[in-house]
Amino acid sequence: MSTSNDADGGYEFALSDAEWRERLSPEEYAILRQAATERAGTGELLEEWGDGFYSCRACGNELFKSGTKFQSHCGWPSFYESVRPDAVELVEDTTLGMTRTEVRCARCGSHLGHVFPDGFGTPTGDRFCMNSLALSFDPEADDAES
């Protein structure tokens, strides 16, 4: 578990707080830069089941493949693994009187959600529980249209 990067520096893609506020909507800023959580069951990507990739909404870093998404019934989009181990950073989170593992974008340090070891029935046993507002969905191009 890495804790070497802080929220504003040490990342490949770092902006000032003012630049983040200009770049993101107030809701996106609250989640991505202040580690807020969207209400369960409200995210626009919760029921997205198309083929493609999920990327960090703040910097565009590719994070998850659609084939790793699964229905966890937790109220947030869930994945059993990231697109590659270095796409995300895992950080111990002791807020709210409990210990959890926060998931951040490894490229810009933005808060994405948390990972839990309760992804029963998945190949990894993990449930990356992500905020929809922290992600962008990029559908795969249909080769038949080329």
Residues catalogued as catalytic: 129
Q: Where are the beta strands (DSSP E) in 2-98?
A: 52-56, 62-65, 69-70, 78-79, 88-93
The sign of the dihedral angle between the CA atoms of 29, 34, 37, 39 is negative
CA 55 remoteness from chain centre: 8
Token pair 């990507």: residue:
45
